């Protein structure tokens, strides 16, 4: 059954201002899991950085200490940045989101920096990629968490929040953002297309990191001094690491090609979804949700989203709807939310 969605027909996950942010279903658990993961990753990385420093004094060459310091130092910076930008402080879990509707002339942008005029006349400044700029230009509403000059911003349909700052003036040189056109076709949806391009860039960055890891592992293998059996074991380990990292880089780069173009489906199919339990979050912040849905021919089949985007699972749980790109068939199908930067894969049957 083909469904052509209208903007007002598509329901999406929204932050509830009636309860503290830490008590919100899905969002509160997501914050707890991702917060613990970031803390654990940062604590686990420091011993390896210190081990790398100590290796300069053990006569094992230059490659191993540089490898350890660069690799785990990078992870420290990555998790520190992710925690600062994406995870609100614990005190904010006791506060509520407040919704802000954006006036027609209250949205401006210069480059990636977007300015949103607040009801008190001040301006919210936040850096957004193309998909979220298009979403904000069309939906024109945000949710704010926090009351100081530094706040977190939530968007409709998306669980993840972003850090922003409040200023007295709009960004210098900013111009108004035009209204984003709505499309009922996944192939022509500008928000979805921009989100797919961003996902492709993230995969390319992951492939570049794996390629650099393979190069470092090769350097360590060649630089490690000759010696006893322990030396042979270390050489074998880093040879295997180089091969695995190179193979993974090729696989990730190949996968990214599929996201460079738009979603090939021409229409969405809306299915009613009945989850069989709450959304379950993994330690790394991915989500799992399962339940039952009914196909166009009347068959009731199970569905399952495993290790998916928390926003995808949140939309299914909050709205009771499952949007399939194209015609739903047993097996793996592309899913999302029309008009929102949300992608996923669902298994039917």
Summarised one tens digit per residue, pLDDT across range 78-102 is: 888 777 877 888 788 889 999 999 9
State pTM to two decimals.
Answer: 0.85
pLDDT digits (tens, 9 = 90+) for 176-207: 888 888 888 899 999 999 999 999 999 999 99
How confident is the model at residue 1, as a pLDDT? 47
Instruction: Judge contact between 45 and 117, C-beta under 8 A.
Output: no
Distances (CA, A) of 211 to 197, 216, 314: 21, 9, 34
Instruction: Judge contact between 198 and 130, C-beta under 8 A.
Output: yes
How confident is the model at residue 6, as a pLDDT? 54
Instruction: Judge contact between 110 and 173, C-beta under 8 A.
Output: yes
What number is the average pLDDT over the span 285-293? 90
Higher pLDDT, 296 or 289: 289
pLDDT digits (tens, 9 = 90+) for 136-158: 999 999 999 988 789 999 999 99
Higher pLDDT, 71 or 340: 340
pLDDT higher than 60, residue 8: no
């Amino acid at each position: 059954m083909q469904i052509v969605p209208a903007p007002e027909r598509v329901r999406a996950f929204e932050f509830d201002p009636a309860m503290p942010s830490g008590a919100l279903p899905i969002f509160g658990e997501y914050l707890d899991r991702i917060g613990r993961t970031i803390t654990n990753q940062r604590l686990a990385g420091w011993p390896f950085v210190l081990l790398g420093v100590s290796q300069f004094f053990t006569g094992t060459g230059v490659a191993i200490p540089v490898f350890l310091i660069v690799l785990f130092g990078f992870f420290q910076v990555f998790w520190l940045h992710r925690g600062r930008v994406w995870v609100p402080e614990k005190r904010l879990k006791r506060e509520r989101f407040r919704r802000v509707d954006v006036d027609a002339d209250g949205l401006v942008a210069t480059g990636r920096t977007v300015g949103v005029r607040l009801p008190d006349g001040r301006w919210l400044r936040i850096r957004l990629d193309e998909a979220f700029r298009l979403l904000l230009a069309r939906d024109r509403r945000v949710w704010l968490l926090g009351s100081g000059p530094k706040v977190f911003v939530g968007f409709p349909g998306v669980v993840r929040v972003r850090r922003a700052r409040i200023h007295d003036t709009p960004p210098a040189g900013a111009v108004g953002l035009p209204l984003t056109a709505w499309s009922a076709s996944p192939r022509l949806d500008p928000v979805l297309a921009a989100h797919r391009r961003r996902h492709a860039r993230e995969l390319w960055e992951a492939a570049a990191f794996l390629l650099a890891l393979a190069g470092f592992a090769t350097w360590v293998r060649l630089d490690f001094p000759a010696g006893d059996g322990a030396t042979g074991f270390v050489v074998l380990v880093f040879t295997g690491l180089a091969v695995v990292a190179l193979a993974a880089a090729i696989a990730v780069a190949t996968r990214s090609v599929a996201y460079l173009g738009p979603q090939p489906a021409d229409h969405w199919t809306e299915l009613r979804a009945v989850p069989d339990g709450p959304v379950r979050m993994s330690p790394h912040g991915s989500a799992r949700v399962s339940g039952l849905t009914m196909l166009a021919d009347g068959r009731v089949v199970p569905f399952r989203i495993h290790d998916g985007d928390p926003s995808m699972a949140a939309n299914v749980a909050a709205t009771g709807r499952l949007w399939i790109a194209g015609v739903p068939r047993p097996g793996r199908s592309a899913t999302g939310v029309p008009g929102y930067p949300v992608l996923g894969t669902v298994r039917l049957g």
